[in-house]
Amino acid sequence: MKPEDLNIILKDESLSDESKKKLISLHESISSREFSDLLDEQGHQYVEFVQEGGGVWGSALVGYLYGLEIFGIRFLKVAGTSAGAINTMLIAACKTKQEAKSDVIKDVLFNWDFADFMDGKAYVKTTLHAMLNNKNFFTINAILAAVFIIILIILPFAIPSGTVLNAKLMFLIPLVPAIILFFCIKKLYHNFRKENSGLNPGNVFLHTMKSALDGFGVKTVANLNEKFIRKEYDLNLNYRYGNRREYYTLILQNIEKIKIKNLEHIDETRYKIFYDSVLNNDYYKNNPFYKLRSEYVVVTTDINAKIKVELPTMANLFWSEEELKHISPAEFVRASMSVPFFFEPFQKSINKDDSSVRYAWKFWMNTEKEDINPVGIFIDGGSISNFPIDLFHADEVFYPRLPLFAVQLTSDTDILSEKGKTAGEILKTPFSYAGNIISTLQGFNDKTFLTKHSFYRLYSIQTVNCGTSSWLNFFMKKEEKEDLFNRGFQAALNFLNQFDWEKYKYERMMLSMKEKKVLKEEDTPTVG
């Protein structure tokens, strides 16, 4: 980072004093680091970027993005769920891949009034506002309910009754709240059925997201694919060490280095197969950009097919090729952020007569035309994969050309709940037991992947602590958005300051060799 660039950034009013102090103290250290071996003509370094979902915590993701971009980080691949899907879509849609995008995205999110997205009945917004902005909401209402019930119980004894019939009627008074509660639940149930099992239709969000994308000239999925998706030489990137056979040569050299350093753990037979596969790989020998591709991925869940859905990769399961030429990619984001019961699930009818749809169902699901589902019903992708870091993991990696950066979101409450508990704490009540089961199953796909590939926890993932804020606080004020933005920004600086690109490449190759059984697994228990 040049001194003049630093001075401009320090004038940014959205950065807190703490953020500016951290930037001043770390900018020289970070500016001298290498983060990738893929660069463009301006010297920007390219990475893959995965963002976790987290409701209105999306402002923290933008702050993290800002922290990366000011040090010349740009994005070849981006992916996310829910809030991460919003940020992913905006990264893909605005400007060119060489330009910084966080300023534009920050303006978009800061100008959105999240409360507008609660477009259901008026009582929903009123109740949620009271719940989210009054910490004692449940306590106060529980006390009022208890006092009310006690009064009703006492009334039959306190009020004199002239006849036996009156006395009996008086003792029916305590049933009044039960009757009221019954009709309230019945009304809520019918509202849910009428509104497709969601408090909010989500139409305002869809329209708002669509308008934002329209402003970037992205009106259709076809527009966005044409703008963002490129591959190999069309990416117009350079390999740090040269665009001829340098990458191929470095692969061979580094494989040999790993063998020498880990000789006692090498399976010689498998090593020879692995080395020969690289040695005879004419694609990498003649093209250092082989298999490189820019892409964006939004993750959602189809509860009809009961699968994790990656869009636009799997879009033809639900949208025909012709439809993708006309619908906005905002629909992908709307599908990804459909928090169950809070928003209505997003629905898409499926035209099984379309050839592109039939091919997709055969390809992805091995399903014939007559068994294709009539409709896709999408809920929040976080129900299965809130942190889709597995999307960009490539088993065939010989020697990394770019790293995978990933950001997770947490809070003070989450940090406390993640600490190990005793059996007594988990099994204390049926509710605590059920809660631990649900938290275990939620995002199980991501947890399983990270358990197997602990490499990413060590070298790719940074966590942003969003403090005491709630991920469902749609009434968040600008000051709260700015606080989240700064938390994300500072987390990005911390990550960049400790990132070691050479060590990343070495350990990523170790992971690849372990997956191919070149490294004896029983000898290398700590290899990610």
Lowest-confidence segment of 38-47, 268-277, 328-337 by average pLDDT: 268-277
Q: Give tens-digit pLDDT for 51-71.
A: 999 889 999 999 999 999 999
Residues 6+ apart with CB under 8 A from 467: 411, 412, 483, 487
Q: How confident is the model at residue 194 (pLDDT cuts 50, 70, 90)?
A: low
Question: Phi, psi (5° rounding) for residue 486?
Answer: -70, -35
Does this model's pTM top 0.85? My answer is: yes
Q: How confident is the model at residue 138 (pLDDT cuts 50, 70, 90)?
A: low
CB of 266 closer than 8 Å to CB of 259 = yes
CB of 61 closer than 8 Å to CB of 87 = yes
- Mapped onto helix, strand or coil, the DSSP state of residue 446 is helix
Instruction: Tell me the C-alpha distance between 339 and 53, whole Å.
Output: 11
Percentage of the residues of the chain whose pLDDT score is greater than 90? 63
Instruction: Tell me the C-alpha distance between 510 and 512, whole Å.
Output: 5
Quickly count helices (H) and strands (E) in the chain. Answer: 25, 12
User: 222-242: buried (b, 16+ CB within 10 Å) or exposed (e) per residue?
Assistant: bbbbebbebeeeebebbbbee
Closest CA to 173 of 155, 147, 161: 155
Q: How confident is the model at residue 472 (pLDDT cuts 50, 70, 90)?
A: confident
Q: Give tens-digit pLDDT for 394-449.
A: 888 889 999 999 999 998 877 776 667 777 777 777 767 777 776 776 777 888 89
- Ranges of beta strands (E only) in 218-368 are 238-239, 295-302, 307-311, 341-343, 346-349
pLDDT over threshold 60, residue 474: yes
Closest CA to 95 of 129, 120, 119, 69: 69
Q: Give tens-digit pLDDT for 331-362.
A: 999 999 988 888 999 999 999 999 999 999 99
Instruction: Tell me the C-alpha distance between 333 and 112, whole Å.
Output: 16
> What average pLDDT does range 457-476 have in this prediction?
91
Residues 6+ apart with CB under 8 A from 142: none
User: What secondary structure does DSSP assign to 245-272, as a single string?
Assistant: SHHHHHHHHHHHHHHHHTGGGB-HHHHH
pLDDT over threshold 90, residue 167: no
- Mapped onto helix, strand or coil, the DSSP state of residue 341 is strand
Residues 6+ apart with CB under 8 A from 393: 404, 449, 453, 456
pLDDT over threshold 80, residue 144: no
First-last CA distance in the chain: 33
Instruction: Tell me the C-alpha distance between 500 and 496, whole Å.
Output: 9
Instruction: Tell me the C-alpha distance between 169 and 369, whole Å.
Output: 64
Whole-number pLDDT of residue 180: 75
pLDDT over threshold 80, residue 166: no
Closest CA to 275 of 398, 364, 171, 95: 398
Closest CA to 472 of 81, 49, 82, 62: 82
Instruction: Tell me the C-alpha distance between 388 and 78, whole Å.
Output: 10
Lowest-confidence segment of 171-175, 253-257, 513-517 by average pLDDT: 171-175
